Amino acid sequence: MSHTIEWKDNGVHIKYIGNLGAFELTEVDSEIYGNEMFERIKYMFYDLRDMTFIKDSDDDMMIPAAFDKTPAGWNRSLKQAFVVNTKEQLEIVEDYMEQIKDLPWKSAFFHDKEKALAWVNEPLY
């Protein structure tokens, strides 16, 4: 698995490439949440189009969802956009979004990168 992280003025862009599982997702999140810029950003933009998720169990997304609970307290006004292009990617994102439904973050999935970028740049409220 490889990934890129690009910090922008108001957000962070994460691109996953290759095979990964829930553990790898939390490793990347650790990089993001440990950065001093995290508390100031308004969005996280995930490009999953070149990723294949390796599923270990039906509960895989509970791991990153549980991991995200603490950072949600540090940065409560955050949007997450997920760009997907396969049914499998969409299922993973929908499962994750179900797991984090009680967090203050707003999350959405998109098939079009430009629409996702437009959405993250709209005001939160």
> Residue 3, Cα to own-chain centre: how many angstroms?
13
In a domain? residue 125: no
- Residue 93 counted as domain residue: yes
pLDDT tens-digit map of 89-110: 999 999 999 999 999 999 999 9
Query: Would you say 53 and 91 are in contact if contact means Cβ atoms under 8 Å apart?
Result: no
Number of folded domains that form the chain: 1
Task: List, for residues 36-49, the tens digit of each pLDDT value.
Answer: 999 999 999 999 99
Return the H-helix or E-strand segment holding 80. strand 79-83
Chain Cα centroid distance, residue 107: 8
CATH code, domain carrying 63: 3.30.750.24
In a domain, 97, yes or no: yes
Domain range enclosing 104: 2-120
pLDDT along the chain (125 residues), means of 10: 92 95 90 94 97 84 90 92 96 94 96 97 81
